[in-house]
Amino acid sequence: MEIKIVKQILEWNEDVSGDIIKELDRDKVCLINLMGSPGAGKTTLIKQIIESLRDKYSIGIIEGDVAGQIDAETIKDMGIPVVQLQTDGACHIEALSIQKILPMFETSKLDVLIVENIGNLVCPAEFNIGEDYRITLLSVPEGDDKVVKYPLMFRATDALVINKCDVLPYFDFDCGRVEGNENDINPDAPVFRVSGRTGDGIKELTEWLDEKIARKLSEGHVDRKPIFSEKGEGE
């Protein structure tokens, strides 16, 4: 019985996610779901993406946090429309929250909406939020074993970003191991080595993202990667 309740929540979330996709396909907005651990560098990376793409695209940001509005203030200071979503303890964002926030943006004038999900490598991966693309961030201090330990997050992403590469000399972190593990479970996803601090590798990442956004805006639709395999394994 309890398992059934969980399924219903996920199925309901899928329905709402489908409605968001229809709305954003119609308005030609590319929705990006950025996920990673607390402190992995999500907000820092969003700032870099904004700097790289703001001249080309109209960008909006949804900042998801359990509490506070620190990240939204950072984005607001850049002159970018932003909404702070506070989950009041919840450890992931659901599609319903995004659906309620969308009217706060002028989506007809927006090209790109980036959602910074709650810092967590587990359940955000299970909840579609109507995104066109998922980007997962793993930072060097977290360790190079995370792809093996949290497979769903890394299997259901469109790109993996290894962040904080500037501190590689101080950590026992093998980028090749992470790339090999990622390739085993998600061979289509590119892996970018970046530093949000120095800006190294950001160009390659934003060029990839630019191409993905342009495809969504020109075709109006994206074939999304399913989260769960046909066998229904979710890890």
Ligand X SMILES: Nc1nc2c(ncn2[C@@H]2O[C@H](COP(=O)(O)OP(=O)(O)OP(=O)(O)O)[C@@H](O)[C@H]2O)c(=O)[nH]1
Residues that bind Mg ion (CB under 5 A): 42-43, 71
Quick note: the x/- pattern for ligand X over 125-164, rule CB under 6 A, is --------------------------------------xx
**Minimum CB distance to Zn ion smaller for 10 or for 80:** 10
E strand or H helix at 64: strand 59-65
- Minimum CB separation of residue 93 from ligand X in Å reads 13
**Minimum CB distance to ligand X smaller for 107 or for 117:** 117
| SS3 assignment, position 235 | coil
Which stretch in 4-12, 39-47, 75-83, 207-215 sits in contact with ligand X by CB under 6 A? 39-47
Q: Tell whether residue 117 is a contact of Zn ion (CB under 5 A).
A: no
Report the alpha-carbon distance of residue 76 to residue 69 in Å, rounded.
Answer: 10
Length of the chain: 235
- Minimum CB separation of residue 45 from Zn ion in Å reads 21
DSSP string over 124-192: GGG---S-SEEEEEEEGGG-TTHHHHSHHHHHS-SEEEEE-GGGGGGS---HHHHHHHHHHH-TTS-EE
Instruction: Report the side by side order of strands in the sheet with 191-193.
Output: 82-86, 59-65, 112-116, 30-36, 133-139, 159-163, 191-193
Q: Tell whether residue 167 is a contact of ligand X (CB under 6 A).
A: yes
Q: Tell whether residue 6 is a contact of Zn ion (CB under 5 A).
A: no
Residue among 96, 123, 175, 185 that touches Zn ion (CB under 5 A)? 123
Q: Tell whether residue 43 is a contact of ligand X (CB under 6 A).
A: yes
**Minimum CB distance to Mg ion smaller for 119 or for 151:** 119
At residue 157, φ and ψ (nearest 5 deg) are -110, 155
Report the alpha-carbon distance of residue 202 to residue 100 in Å, rounded.
Answer: 32
195 contact, one of ligand X, Zn ion, Mg ion, none, CB 5-8 Å limit per kind? ligand X
Q: Tell whether residue 197 is a contact of ligand X (CB under 6 A).
A: yes
- Minimum CB separation of residue 219 from ligand X in Å reads 31
User: How is residue 55 written in tokens?
Assistant: 């001249």
64 contact, one of Mg ion, Zn ion, ligand X, none, CB 5-8 Å limit per kind? none
Report the alpha-carbon distance of residue 99 to residue 130 in Å, rounded.
Answer: 9
* b/e sequence 39-56, b meaning 16+ C-beta within 10 Å: ebbbbbbbbbbbebbeee
Q: Tell whether residue 91 is a contact of Zn ion (CB under 5 A).
A: yes
The footprint of ligand X (CB under 6 A) covers 36, 38-44, 71, 119, 163-164, 166-167, 195-197
The footprint of Zn ion (CB under 5 A) covers 91-92, 123
